[in-house]
Amino acid sequence: MNKNAVCLFSSAGLGELGLKSNNIETVISNEILENRHQLYQRNYPNTKLFTGDIWRYKDEIIEYYKKNYKEDLFLLYATPPCQGMSSNGAGKLLSEIRKGNRPQIDERNRLIIPTLDIIEALQPEWIILENVPNMQHTVIKDEFNNYINIMDYIDRRLGHIYKGSYQVISCSDYGVPQLRKRLLTVYTRNSAGIEYFNQKANFFLEEEKTEIKTLRDAIGNLPPLDAKKGLNTRYDFHPLHYVSVMNEEKYWWVSHTKEGEQAYNNQCVNIDCLDSTNPLHKDVIINGIAQSNKTTPIYCQSCGSLLPRPSIIDKITGERRLIKGFHSAYRRMEWDKPAAALTKNFPFEASDKKIHPTQNRVLSIYEALIIQSISEYDYNFKTDEKYISKTLLAEIIGESVPPKIIDFMCAKILSIHNRTYQSNSPIQLSLEL
């Protein structure tokens, strides 16, 4: 029997590479941004696309599947956005709400409602929801305008039919060379899956973790690049192995930054001084909120020379001042650790810990594809035989879930699904991930 999937908030379909790897066919996709969906169509030409607001298209999605497919939907995979989340926890938010202090709720948080409407109508055998860890602290207004924690809301709507759990994992524990934490939720109405969750509290198990893959393992053998003109491209190796040229000042800061350190902590390079005791850059906590330190010195306390720290000449005063930045800005990565989590800003020096460990540059697009595990799959980033823009490449890479994680999840789901789960008998997975 065909194993069909419906994918919601699909972006360009990078997570769906994990479905495709397990012969799960995405038959319907919904994404609001047209440029993402155009790329999706190129890579999944047989998928029916609904491009636009899910509130508008939810009924059409349901109708289309029921009309065109007789078999039960195997999987619904969705990554609904959750904005304005609080690390203070849902309990504190709900307490404030009950006191009459109504917080402003981002309407995008309520996109879980049409997602669950589609799930209830199509009743897939398996459900995967993916988001950032703080989704578990999100409070939404439900369809009755009552405030409720989003995870409680999901369970309220699914718990009478489905069994499952949610869990925060680090992608680095499953073969991805990146310290990227995600909240992954799995529900099922499949009998073997229900039996699994009757025995196991979590979908991801401690014994399934793999050996950590470091940045050196991932990109250590690639041809070197340098953010100077003429040295910043290696198109002969791969058309996406290139970086932008830095201006001279930024290059000066970066060139004096050691592995794992940040440019804000660089010390005096005046050969007649070399004072290494200038105060360091540290975030400060004001009213419980971390803020960048605005008093970090940019001149040497001993000789008065300009330090190779991020600074700029103020257009109004004409004086040089510190550029605002947190402890992770203008920081080099470390060879023997996984990369920090990629964001859409990874091509910029100021992005969180995205400067190459030893070379004077940021990550290339090709290196980001490796770190996000996308390079292990077949995906076409071209339109009209030309690669999409660097900006769009960075956006869709930075906003995606590493497909290797979804690959792992789908392989395990199939392992459970394709057998009668025996009580007290561990699931044996043979996954080359």
Q: Which residues pair with 185 in a beta bridge?
A: 129, 166
Q: Which of 7, 82, 268, 410 is flagged as catalytic? A: 82
Provide the b/e sequence for 200-235 (b: ≥16 CB within 10 Å): eeebbeeeeeeebbbbeebbeebeebbbeeeebebe
- Report the interhelical angle of 403-417 vs 191-199 (nearest 10°): 100
First to last CA, the chain: 25
Q: Is beta strand 311-313 parallel, antiparallel or unpaired with respect to 320-322?
A: antiparallel
Clarify whether 82 is annotated catalytic. yes
Which of 72, 29, 37, 74 is CA-nearest to residue 54? 29
**Distance in angstroms (rounded) separating the CA atoms of residues 357 and 333:** 5
Residue 11 · residue 83 · CB < 8 Å: no
Give CA separation, 416 vs 145, 204, 306, in Å.
Answer: 38, 13, 62
Amino acid at 191: S
8 Å CB contact between 362 and 351: yes
At residue 175, the 3 state secondary structure works out as coil
Strands 25-31 and 4-8, by their bridges, are parallel
Q: Which two tokens stand for residue 269?
A: 């390079």
| Residues β-bridged to residue 127 | 76, 187
List active site positions.
82
